[in-house]
């Protein structure tokens, strides 16, 4: 007993032949592109570089508008290819040691100049001073308030001598005094009075 009649059988054969042709075409195209990329690496690299240079604004605008999409995509890729990325980075660093060293030295000096300029600015001085206080154990709700008091205090709260702001410590150098046990702010003192208090 035949389950499929002749016409249906012909249609199935035609359908599979057509689909197989599509699959073969796709595979043929995929292999062709791989070979083309291998044979024309430099040409493609040069073209992409030129394209990016010519369309910088357009690319930046597109990336900016699709930031979340790119971020999600890159995180997902990294999650699935951690080992591959690690090995690639290792091999790249091994091949490009000199280039990386030159770039890092250049970046260091550029960044260093920026840091120096920032530290000389009022905001930079403030940030640096507050970070030093935090490292020394000062605990406070409003560091800005203490910094304002530090700037506006001209005389030592203990001996009333005129305070100075110096690069190297002197007996008259302005200091922030805090309780070493609780971390709470006490006074603005000269260095001499601050060392006498100890804790």
Q: Which two tokens stand for residue 191?
A: 């260095």
The answer to whether 52 touches 60, Cβ cutoff 8 Å, is no
Distance, CA of 171 to CA of 47 (rounded, Å): 66
Per-residue pLDDT of the chain (199 residues), as tens digits, is 445 566 666 676 677 676 677 777 778 788 888 888 888 888 888 999 899 899 988 888 888 888 888 888 888 888 899 898 899 999 998 888 888 888 888 887 777 777 788 888 888 889 988 998 888 888 888 899 989 998 888 999 889 889 888 878 888 898 888 888 888 888 899 988 888 876 6
pTM beyond 0.85, yes or no: no
Antiparallel, parallel or unpaired: β 174-178 and 185-190: antiparallel
Closest CA to 185 of 117, 139, 130, 123: 139
């Amino acid at each position: 007993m035949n389950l499929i009649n002749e016409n249906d059988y012909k249609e199935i054969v035609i359908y599979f032949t057509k689909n197989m042709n599509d699959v073969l075409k796709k595979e043929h195209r995929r292999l062709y592109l791989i070979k083309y990329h291998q044979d024309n690496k430099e040409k493609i690299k040069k073209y992409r570089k030129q394209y990016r240079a010519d369309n910088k604004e357009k690319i930046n605008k597109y990336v900016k508008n699709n930031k979340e999409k790119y971020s999600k995509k890159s995180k997902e890729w990294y999650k699935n290819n951690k080992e591959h990325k690690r090995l690639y980075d290792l091999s790249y660093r091994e091949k490009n040691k000199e280039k990386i060293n030159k770039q890092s030295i250049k970046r260091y000096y550029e960044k260093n100049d920026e840091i120096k300029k920032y530290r000389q600015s009022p905001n930079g001085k403030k940030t640096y001073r507050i970070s030093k206080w935090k490292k020394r154990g000062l605990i406070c709700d409003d560091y800005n308030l203490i910094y304002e008091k530090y700037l506006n205090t001209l005389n030592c709260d203990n001996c009333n001598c005129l305070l100075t702001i110096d690069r190297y410590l002197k007996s008259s150098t302005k200091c922030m005094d805090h309780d070493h046990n609780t971390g709470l702010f006490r006074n603005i003192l000269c260095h001499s009075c601050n060392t006498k208090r100890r804790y």
